[in-house]
Amino acid sequence: MSRGFWIYGVLLVAIQGLAACGNNPVEDEPIEMASGEQGAGDKLVVAFGDSLFAGYQLAPNEGLAPQLQAALKEDGINARVHNAGVSGDTTAAGRTRLNFVLDNLERKPDLVVLGLGGNDMLRGIKPKETRANLEAMLQELQRRKIKVVMTGMLSAPNLGADYAREFNPLYPELAAQYGAKLYPFFLEGVVMDKSLMLKDNVHPNAKGVTRVVEGLSPLVEATLMDNRSAVLEK
């Protein structure tokens, strides 16, 4: 993936302002629960991330949350996936709003899929700050005894080897430290296939999201079905 990701890095840095877009009228809409849709024993999953989670420029049923919910249902898991993606969010912004999102749900979620850090990287935010924000969110989820699946990001090669050495290990190291499951690279198998990407070459289209869900959903399912402690103690 090295050559392909180098090209991806060039594209990311060239159009990094797109990652901060927040004016799409569809992307930030949460999935509303139909009357009687969720009963006792159903799973509640929160997809907490940035524009990659929010459904940037996609129809309401094409984003990560609705497609993941459909995939879980197809595999016999009765779950609602709540869209808590906000375009342009950095880890600092996510850290600020995490408690608000969790406190305003109808109940404690069974799982949070945490996908932030891409905008930090695009803006050249120091990896130690990204690490601190992600760690604070993981600590809060651990305190609440909520299971976590992290979706990782990789540094664009244009940012240099030093940045990559600090940024890229964040996700596996924090996942191991806090007992979270890790999907190493959110756009794995998607980013270099133009048929799966929007014209901005940063965000997946509906088919691209389907490919992401194909890779991500088995990990989400396994984590939901794991009856062990939500997170490991430090």
Taking only the tens place, the pLDDT of each residue in 80-96 is 999 999 999 999 999 99
Sign of the Cα torsion 122, 125, 126, 130 reads negative
Active-site residue set:
51, 200, 203
CA separation (Å) from 216 to 40, 220, 221, 223?
25, 6, 9, 11
CA 90, distance to chain mean position in Å, is 12
The CATH architecture that domain 2-21+29-225 belongs to is 3-Layer(aba) Sandwich (3.40)
Q: What confidence tier does 5 reach under pLDDT thresholds 50, 70, 90?
A: low
pLDDT digits (tens, 9 = 90+) for 142-162: 999 999 999 999 999 999 999
pLDDT above 80: residue 18: no
pLDDT digits (tens, 9 = 90+) for 57-74: 999 999 999 999 999 999
8 A C-beta contact, residue 117 and residue 170: yes
Name 82's Cβ contacts closer than 8 Å, sequence gap at least 6.
Answer: 30, 31, 44, 45, 46, 47, 65, 105, 109
pLDDT above 70: residue 131: yes
